Amino acid sequence: MSGAVPSGYPDPSGAGYAPHAAPPYTTSAYTPPAPRRHVGRLLAAAVLTVVVGVGAGAGTWYLIRGHGTGTGAGPVASGAGVSVSAPASTTPSPPAQSTPSDTATATPSASLLNSPSAGYRRTSDPVGYSIDVPQGWSRREEQGKLAPIVYYDSPSDGRQLQIFEVTESTPYDSLTLAETDPGYGFAQQPGFQVVERDHGDTWAELSYRYDDKEKGTRQVIDHRFEAADGTLYAIRSSGPASLDPEQVRAPLRMAIRYFCPTGTECT
């Protein structure tokens, strides 16, 4: 396949509540003395106060607790004040001390996170992006039908990275068309055999094998994705079928992980 493919390929793809009757009580002419009635009313008022207080506390807790499946607390309702007084402590708390684990879990610096992995180098390609490629691989460029095609070739074992921009509406549309177009789709290649295919919202990938007339049987991973600036790209990694598939996967993994269009802030 040589370059971006044309756009326009269609997307494949009852009882109600009834209180119990009061039990029969017998009446009595006995009348409790007034002081005991007064104590009873005071006791009832005290119980009512406790119940109301507990109810209010439970209602406030409900307002401030988290209601989702996460562990964080939900928002506090506006105007709902909660005052909680902790018992006074007679012994002041000692100042917080840092521990060795605090520094051990510190976030690494950005320069460390952005350094190329061992065996790779970062290059600012003149086509308009930076990318990590294996050390010692050589670059060449060809003009495709709609966009330049950049190749990085291994000098020893026949592996290759191929990078170019695509113009379809989604990575899945682009990859499907590149595979199945009756005129130039790579499904028409001799010995074509799908190994695995998968896709997500912003990417699509197809692994396959085919028989190259000059190089013999090849394994290919074609990955198409949306870059940080919204542009769609394809990165194809290939190598001899005799290699361990991880040897073909590894350069692709690093190229995608650190791919960044020029002038774009990538994380």
Tokens for 236?
Answer: 């194809």
Host domain of residue 149: 118-261
Residue 93 located in a structural domain: no
Per-residue pLDDT of the chain (267 residues), as tens digits, is 444 444 433 333 333 333 333 333 333 344 444 444 444 444 444 444 443 344 433 332 222 223 333 333 333 333 333 333 444 444 555 544 444 333 333 333 344 446 688 999 999 999 999 999 999 999 999 998 889 999 999 999 999 999 999 999 999 999 999 999 998 899 999 999 999 999 999 999 999 999 999 999 999 999 999 999 999 999 999 999 999 999 999 999 999 999 999 999 997
CATH value at residue 153: 3.40.1000.10
Residue 62 located in a structural domain: no
Residue 85 located in a structural domain: no
Residue 247 located in a structural domain: yes
Specify the pTM: 0.59
pLDDT digit string, tens, across residues 254-266? 999 999 999 999 9
**Eight-state DSSP code of residue 149:** E
Residue 80 located in a structural domain: no
Burial 212-231 (b: 16+ CB within 10 A, else e): beeeeebbbbbbbbebeeee
Task: Report the domain count for the chain.
Answer: 1
The amino acid sitting at 155 is P
CA–CA separation, 113 and 42 (whole Å): 70
> Do residues 172 and 164 make contact, with C-beta atoms less than 8 angstroms apart?
no
Residue 147 located in a structural domain: yes
CA R_g for the chain: 36
